[in-house]
Amino acid sequence: MTRTAGLPMTDVWADRVLREHGVATVRAAGRPALLIVQMETLELCHHTPDRNYRPYLHLSGELRAIRPQTPLPFGITEVTYRHGDGDTVDAFYEFDDAQLVELTRKGYFTGPVILPEHLVGIDWELPATVDTLLVAPDAADPAAVIVFARVQDAAALPLDLENSGYDLTEYVPDPAGSHPTPAPDALARRLPVRSDPLIPLFGEEDYRLPEEAPRAAPAPTPAEPGADALEPALRQVEQEIAAERDAVRADREATAGTVENLYVARVARALTDADARDTAAGAGPAADRDAHARPPALTTPAHRVPDPAGSGPGAGLPGPGA
């Protein structure tokens, strides 16, 4: 029996080993194994309505060891983990029909099912399938084998009575012995009995809803005072902004090296010359090119000062005559 300390497959060294050249590695995937899990929580849950709220147990704990059914390469029979280094294993235990009958007999539908506390804090043996990556030992230390392991479905490990061998209904306490069901006549003696008729506190008229009064149409919202006087001022501001934007664009068109200057000198001029040739040939002006006679409007705010020549978006580009 050869035991060795293991590392999770998510460790950074596993990726480095796979990328290194000259490192002898052996893969062993899909090996059935027995997991040693120190159980930390145990919770009774229920499925969704499509499964009729069928109960199941959610178990969660830390992986402490892996015992493959057949030895891994280099004779490894057990991979162990230090406390805090093992992956978290979440398992879901499904009850079969016979176990549900036993849970019902133990009061599943008549009261809360209390799971014993001694089921947590101990090691459980859970069946699983593991993938491993082993780094071959060197000649100086033949026993030094590095094992990276990954548990398949570690976040949703399926369990039941057949594959785990655990009948968890046996650990559910039976309240029948400690809390006997009282006899029917004893329950009858406990119920209070009234001889006088019950008088309701509210009459039928108290339950009648008052007729809903018709709702009045909402009054129109009065216009804000001075709104009409602001419209001419707003239009004047818009005209000033548009004039300033045109001035900025014209200035940038005349500045060598800017995008606007390159567009007017090369693109718009070429389109204008092409229209002139078409007109001379009798084909008529190209109406679809008129939209490109000038560059598109700038989106730069009007208050910004145009860039000097050589410092704008077209800095370093040749001028129109290049």
When divided into structural domains, the chain yields a total of 2
Task: Tell me which of 122, 147, 171 is where a domain ends.
Answer: 171
Same-domain check for residues 147 and 270:
no
- Pairwise CA distance, residues 103 & 96, whole Å: 11
Average pLDDT over residues 120-142: 88
Q: What percent of the chain has pLDDT over 90?
A: 35
Average pLDDT over residues 108-119: 82
Same-domain check for residues 131 and 256:
no
Same-domain check for residues 109 and 255:
no
Average pLDDT over residues 1-17: 84
Residue 178 lies in a domain: no
Residue 48 lies in a domain: yes
pLDDT at residue 198 in the model: 53
b (16+ CB within 10 A) / e for 93-116: bebeeebeebbeebbbeeeebeee
Residue 155 lies in a domain: yes
Residue 62 lies in a domain: yes
Q: Which residue range(s) make up the domain with 149?
A: 2-171
Residue 300 has pLDDT above 50, yes or no: no
Same-domain check for residues 21 and 156:
yes
User: Cα-flanking dihedrals φ and ψ of residue 44, to 5°?
Assistant: -90, 120
- Pairwise CA distance, residues 317 & 259, whole Å: 9
Same-domain check for residues 141 and 37:
yes
Average pLDDT over residues 113-128: 90
pLDDT at residue 207 in the model: 59
pLDDT tens readout for residues 219-233: 666 656 665 667 888
Same-domain check for residues 163 and 251:
no
Query: What's the pLDDT band for 24 if we cut at 50, 70, 90?
Result: confident
What sign does the dihedral 78-79-82-84 (CA atoms) show? Answer: negative
Asked if residue 252 lies in contact with residue 306, where contact means CB atoms within 8 angstroms, the answer is yes
pLDDT at residue 122 in the model: 93
Task: Tell me which of 171, 188, 219 is where a domain ends.
Answer: 171
Same-domain check for residues 123 and 269:
no
Cα–Cα nearest to 152, from 9, 14, 4: 9
Cα–Cα nearest to 249, from 259, 257, 239: 259
Question: Which tokens in the block code for residue 294?
Answer: 């000038």
Amino acid at 181: T
Residue 18 lies in a domain: yes
Same-domain check for residues 112 and 259:
no
pTM for this model (two decimals)? 0.53
Same-domain check for residues 140 and 236:
no
Those residues whose C-beta lies under 8 Å from the C-beta of residue 120, and which sit 6 or more positions away, are 39, 40, 41, 42
pLDDT at residue 111 in the model: 76
Residue 204 lies in a domain: no
User: pLDDT higher for 203 or 316?
Assistant: 203
Residue 157 has pLDDT above 50, yes or no: yes
Lowest mean pLDDT across 2-6, 247-251, 268-272 = 268-272
Asked if residue 127 lies in contact with residue 164, where contact means CB atoms within 8 angstroms, the answer is yes
Cα–Cα nearest to 88, from 190, 179, 157, 174: 157
Average pLDDT, the chain: 77
Same-domain check for residues 167 and 235:
no
Lowest mean pLDDT across 70-74, 113-117, 280-284, 287-291 = 287-291
pLDDT tens readout for residues 181-195: 444 443 333 334 445
Task: Tell me which of 144, 171, 198 is where a domain ends.
Answer: 171
E strands, the chain, in order: 2-8, 25-46, 55-68, 76-80, 88-94, 123-135, 146-151, 157-159
Cα–Cα nearest to 249, from 257, 240, 258: 258
User: pLDDT higher for 201 or 280?
Assistant: 280
Residue 101 lies in a domain: yes
Query: What's the pLDDT band for 320 if we cut at 50, 70, 90?
Result: very low
- Pairwise CA distance, residues 145 & 102, whole Å: 48
Same-domain check for residues 248 and 142:
no
Residue 105 lies in a domain: yes
List, as one string, the DSSP characters of 242-308: HHHHHHHHHHHHHSTTSHHHHIIIIIIHHHHHHHHHHHHTTS---GGGGGGSSPPPP-S-TTSPPPP
- Pairwise CA distance, residues 238 & 244, whole Å: 10
Beta carbons within 10 angstroms of residue 239's beta carbon: 10
> In which residue are the tokens 């796979």 written?
18
Same-domain check for residues 140 and 249:
no
Residue 100 has pLDDT above 70, yes or no: yes
